[in-house]
Amino acid sequence: MLLNESVPQNAQGKEESTQSTLRHTANCVVMVPPKEFRFNEETAQDNEFQHHVSLSQDEITHRTMAEFAAMVQSLRKEGVQVVEFDYPYAEVATPDAVFPNNWFSTTPDGTLYTFPMACENRQHEVRPTALAASLMQSGREVYQQDSLTEYLDEQAYLESTGVMVFDHLNQTVYAALSQRCDRLVLEDYVKRIGYERVISFQTRLPSGAPVYHTNVMMAVGEQFCVICDEVIPEFERRFVLKSLAKDKQVISISIDQMNQFCGNILQLETVRGDKVIAMSQSAYNAFSPTQRNQLSTHGKLLPFDVSTIESIGGGSVRCMLGEVFLPSRKPVL
């Protein structure tokens, strides 16, 4: 049976804290400037969304930094807290650092998790100590850290919310299995956070390859989901859709729409509690008017022009946003 649904035991006594603080949307995100951004030859081995462009490196840097700055400014204007996590240059360049959601995640109990990345140059993005300091400086508590990077020794990988799409309200994780999403590491992480189910499945693109990251083919909001279900084998597809449709409005997208990053969107909330849905301008344009109307009932649509980043990097707006679910720091009296 290709599809795997497991019900792990709650680990480390986290059940009570998880259930008491359960929420789906974050009002704070981490973003990393694309100052070393370029076409990443390592990730291109299994990322069919990457493309070479006829721009000089100076032009690429100028355009991507401008796209990043505009997105940060717009999110803050809407009332979403943005933590800009800059980093010093090192011997190994990190061309995909602009996609931080792949190497860390956070939980409401104050835990910062880090993950094993499949590509060597992406492993150098993982900077938990510096990130924890930046988050705490921004008013968030980091009570503890946990890492799954020991799996690198086994060449087993799990690229965080790139490969895992969460339904936090139902304590369920959806994951397309691939080189970047190892089933055993996936189940270990879901056990650590005390969630109830992991639904893993196979995918197949027209080329025959699997989807490299689940978050390019699907997104889950509080009451909706967007999914390119045609890339899932029929038997598994029925199971996944049945699970999603229990309490979500299912918005199905085509492979062409997926290629325009319609699946790479993220529902967030503002500090006032209003819902917004971040997406690229490419995705916004590729959604049909009916689909845009459906999505707009779940939050204000926020399209961002990140065309240079998504064309060269093979990831879009959701990949640029690392959600922060950490508790806010209490002011010192």
Note the pLDDT tens digit of each residue in 305-314.
Answer: 999 999 998 8
Q: Give CA–CA dist 169/174, Å, rounded.
A: 13
Total domains, the chain: 1
Tens-place pLDDT, residues 270-298: 999 999 999 999 999 999 999 999 999 99
Please indicate, yes or no, if residue 158 is contained in any of the structural domains.
yes
**Closest Cα to residue 228, out of 208, 247, 197, 204?**
204
Residue 176 domain-assigned? yes
Q: Which two tokens stand for residue 330?
A: 């209490």
> Does position 16 have pLDDT exceeding 90, yes or no?
no
* 3-state class (DSSP) for residue 281: helix
Q: Are 321 and 266 in contact (CB under 8 A)?
A: yes
- Mean of pLDDT values over 102-113: 97
Cβ(200)–Cβ(189) below 8 Å: no
**Residue 124 backbone zone (phi > 0: left; psi -120 to 50: alpha; other: beta):** alpha
- Domain for residue 254, yes or no? yes
Indicate whether 52 pLDDT > 70: yes
Which CATH number belongs to the domain containing residue 69 in this structure? Answer: 3.75.10.10
CA–CA dist 187, 206 (Å, integer): 28
pLDDT of residue 9: 36
Asked if the model's pLDDT at residue 117 lies above 60, the reply is yes
pLDDT of 5 over the 60 cut = no
pTM for the structure as a whole:
0.91
pLDDT tens, position by position, 184-204: 999 999 999 999 899 999 999
Q: Does 331 fall in a domain?
A: no
- Is the residue at 277 inside a domain? yes
Question: What pLDDT score does 333 carry?
Answer: 41
Is 328 part of any domain? no
Alpha-carbon distances, residue 35 vs 64, 315, 333 (angstroms): 8, 16, 39
The pLDDT tens digits for 63-84 are 999 999 999 999 999 999 999 9
- Does 6 score more than 60 pLDDT? no
Q: Is residue 250 part of a domain?
A: yes
Q: Cβ distance 123 to 168 under 8 Å?
A: no
Containing structural domain, residue 154: 4-323
More confident site: 7 or 231: 231
In a domain? residue 333: no
pLDDT tens sequence across 135-175: 999 999 999 999 999 999 999 999 999 999 999 999 999 99
